[in-house]
Structure 1
Amino acid sequence: MLALAELQQRRAAMLQGSEPVTTTNKLPEETGSSLQLRNLIRQRHAEWSQATFGDVGPVGPLKHLSKEALEAAEEPDDLSEWADMQFLLWDAQRRAGISDGEITAAMEEKLKVNMARQWPEPKDGEPRLHIKAGLNLEGQEKQKK
């Protein structure tokens, strides 16, 4: 397993253009031990969060997640920002009472929806929102004839 510092160096090199961006399309290989460690960390985080923040709902963690996402966008090679986002997503999911099975089913359905949608050309560093019916590629209403 690569050390965190080495992973951060590789990501920084990729973001600076010295490594091809296409490497980000590959899914990381997960082994039984890394999945077990991930689940252990998730459980430890849940216990800590419950003890620290008590019985609150998912909205607070989701709002915090939006702030962390902006920080990650500013420093996408900082793995601690990615860890913060994962913790907050797990916390919100747990506090909403949503199981991993429910999320997986929703992801499967949402992927089908997204694959059926039309999308504008990608522009690096900018969000790409799907093209809504009745709008052109620039997001403006189509002219009626």
Structure 2
Amino acid sequence: MVTVLPAALLQGKAVLPDEKDASLQLRNLIRQRHAEWSDKTFGNVGPVGSLKHLSKEALEAATEPDDLSEWADMQFLLWDAQRRSGISDTEITAAMEEKLAVNMTRQWPEPKDGEPRLHIKADQQQEHK
């Protein structure tokens, strides 16, 4: 099954191939097992703790971007925060599609490796004219 995105979003770029069924099933099983473990370990809490922990893990991943365990930590925390917020995969996918469309209309500074690149806001564009 291949996901088809609107042509305006793709702008001629190839869509990444879908994961194989077995890989996707394993990912879903791990996600379910993580949710069960997280609920048992941390109880019925909201998403804020997971999101704050995510910021810590992201900084760790930035120092060692090849460390897959840091990427796994971030994925677990994203899943946990999403689930604890009551946001479905369908909802987050729709939000991602909308946000991508917004980001594609924005102006961005030149790339600089290792530095975050924030979009140029309208008032900043006026200052540069």
Q: Which category describes the TM-score, using the shorter chain as reference length?
A: 0.7 to 0.9
TM-score calculated relative to the size of structure 2: 0.85
Identity of aligned residues (%): 83
Unaligned runs of 5+ in 1: 1-25
Higher relative CO (Cα under 8 Å, sequence separation at least 6) belongs to 2
Measure how far apart 1:128 and its partner are: 0.5
Q: Is it true that 1:79 corresponds to 2:64 in the alignment?
A: no
Distance (Å, rounded) in 2 between the aligned partners of 1:61 and 1:135? 33
Q: Deviations over 1:98-122 (max 9, x none)?
A: 0000000100100100000000110
Measure how far apart 1:27 and its partner are: 4.3
Measure how far apart 1:53 and its partner are: 0.2
Give 1:142's aligned residue: 127
Distance of aligned partners of 1:120 and 1:106 in 2 relative to their CA distance in 1, 3 Å threshold: same
Aligned residues: 116
Instruction: Tell me which of 58, 61, 67 is aligned to 2:47.
Output: 58
Distance (Å, rounded) in 2 between the aligned partners of 1:128 and 1:28? 28
Q: How does 1:30-109 map onto structure 2 within 5 Å?
A: 30-109=19-98
Q: Deviations over 1:55-87 (max 9, x none)?
A: 000000000000000000000000000000000
Could you list the runs of 4 or more consecutive aligned residues of structure 1 that deviate by over 3 angstroms after TM superposition? 26-29
Distance (Å, rounded) in 2 between the aligned partners of 1:44 and 1:97? 17
Distance of aligned partners of 1:42 and 1:65 in 2 relative to their CA distance in 1, 3 Å threshold: same
Distance (Å, rounded) in 1 between the aligned partners of 2:16 and 2:118? 23
Distance of aligned partners of 1:91 and 1:135 in 2 relative to their CA distance in 1, 3 Å threshold: same
Unaligned runs of 5+ in 2: 1-14
Instruction: Tell me which of 109, 126, 131 is aligned to 2:120.
Output: 131
Rg larger in 1 or in 2?
A: 1
Q: Helix, strand or coil: the match of 2:117?
A: coil
Q: Deviations over 1:12-70 (max 9, x none)?
A: xxxxxxxxxxxxxx947510000000000000000000000000000000000000000
